[in-house]
Amino acid sequence: MTTYGMLIDVDRCTGCYNCFLSCKDEYCGNDYPGYSASQPEFGQFWMNIKEVERGEYPKVKVDYTPIPCMQCKNAPCVQVAQNGAAYMRDDGIVIIDPEKAKGQKEIADACPYRVIYWNDALQLPQKCTFCAHLLDKGWKQPRCIESCPTDAKVFGDLDDPNSEISKLKASGNYEVLRPEFNASPKVLYASLPKRFISGEVLLSDKKSECAQGIKVTLQKNGARVSDTITDVYGDFEFDGLEQGTGYSVKVEFDGYASISLEVASRIDTHLGEIELVPKG
């Protein structure tokens, strides 16, 4: 048995839109009977790139999260479809039949991830198919995977323990989008944007130099969560943190009085300059 899945590492995605464009190239103006009708040039984003800006000046981060159909095991779109118009193949790919689905707007409305697009002209719900028409011809991966210059996406057989995607999944370093939907998606994510705390350390008696190599510890309820050292500019950052959780940051350096700061904000926080003063 084969069950196709995709793992997307958001840290590796540069937002170049190659995957989006290769999807357009494959589907705009092309009908694949039994798989999909032509994707309109505008208004549909079968491989959508969601841009998220975090933090505020002077510390802003931008992340790009590619969002195709999640190929859910418990797919609400399949559950509401009449006459088998949306169904899951033996290899796990969810297909919306371009003939049988005509007029069934409820299929588009049922998707909790909002990745089905309603084609008014054709009266048809449409979405990503994992390029099933190519896989059935012997291709090993969809066009969006092939076109990614940073290998941000891995595609493969989740049932094969030796496939790259299975090995990555086995590491446990992944999550799914919106698990509360209980849809069991087969598109998995690594490094989904979360929350960061950052700052810049200065030594009060050496302000003309960058304070590199200063130890900074992140704590929660008085217990160590993680630590780091400042970079060549004296900057530090903790990312991937829980939203809505209180943290404190401790800055220590030999010969200087250490400083602990409570991070009251529950969102992305840049602490600005933290100045260490020599002891005594």
Strands 48-56 and 59-67, by their bridges, are: antiparallel
Phi-psi region of 71 (alpha: psi -120 to 50; beta: other; left: phi over 0): left
Binding residue (CB under 6 A) for ligand SF4 from 66, 92, 142, 193: 66
Residue 186 C-beta: closest distance to ligand SF4, Å: 9
Please state, in angstroms and rounded to a whole number, the distance separating the CA atoms of residues 238 and 266: 14
What would the two tokens of residue 267 be?
Answer: 């969102």
Residue 91 C-beta: closest distance to ligand SF4, Å: 14
Nearest CA to 272 out of 27, 55, 39, 111 is that of 55
Pick between residue 78 and residue 251 the one whose CB is nearest to ligand SF4.
78
Q: Which of residues 15-54 bind ligand SF4 (CB under 6 A)?
A: 15-19, 49
The most distant pair of C-alpha atoms in the chain lies apart, rounded to whole Å, by 81
Alpha carbon 279 to its chain's center: 45
Binding residue (CB under 6 A) for ligand SF4 from 37, 67, 81, 94: 94
Binding residue (CB under 6 A) for ligand SF4 from 93, 148, 188, 190: 148
Binding residue (CB under 6 A) for ligand SF4 from 3, 39, 71, 198: 71
Q: CB–CB of 28/43 below 8 Å?
A: no
165 in contact with ligand SF4 (CB under 6 A): no
85 in contact with ligand SF4 (CB under 6 A): no
Residue 47 C-beta: closest distance to ligand SF4, Å: 7
- Write the CA distances from 165 to 91, 146, 218, 222, 268, integer angstroms: 15, 15, 32, 37, 31
Q: CB–CB of 190/167 below 8 Å?
A: no
Binding residue (CB under 6 A) for ligand SF4 from 6, 85, 101, 116: 116
Residue 49 C-beta: closest distance to ligand SF4, Å: 5
135 in contact with ligand SF4 (CB under 6 A): no
87 in contact with ligand SF4 (CB under 6 A): no
113 in contact with ligand SF4 (CB under 6 A): yes
Give the interface segment with ligand SF4, choosing from 62-70, 199-207, 209-217, 218-226 (CB under 6 A): 62-70
Residue 18 C-beta: closest distance to ligand SF4, Å: 4
End-to-end C-alpha distance for the chain, whole angstroms: 70
Q: Where does 195-253 show beta strands of DSSP type E?
A: 195-203, 215-220, 223-229, 235-241, 247-252
92 in contact with ligand SF4 (CB under 6 A): no
Chain residues in the site for ligand SF4 (CB under 6 A)? 13-19, 49, 64, 66, 69-72, 75-77, 94, 111, 113, 115-116, 127, 147-148, 150, 152-153, 183
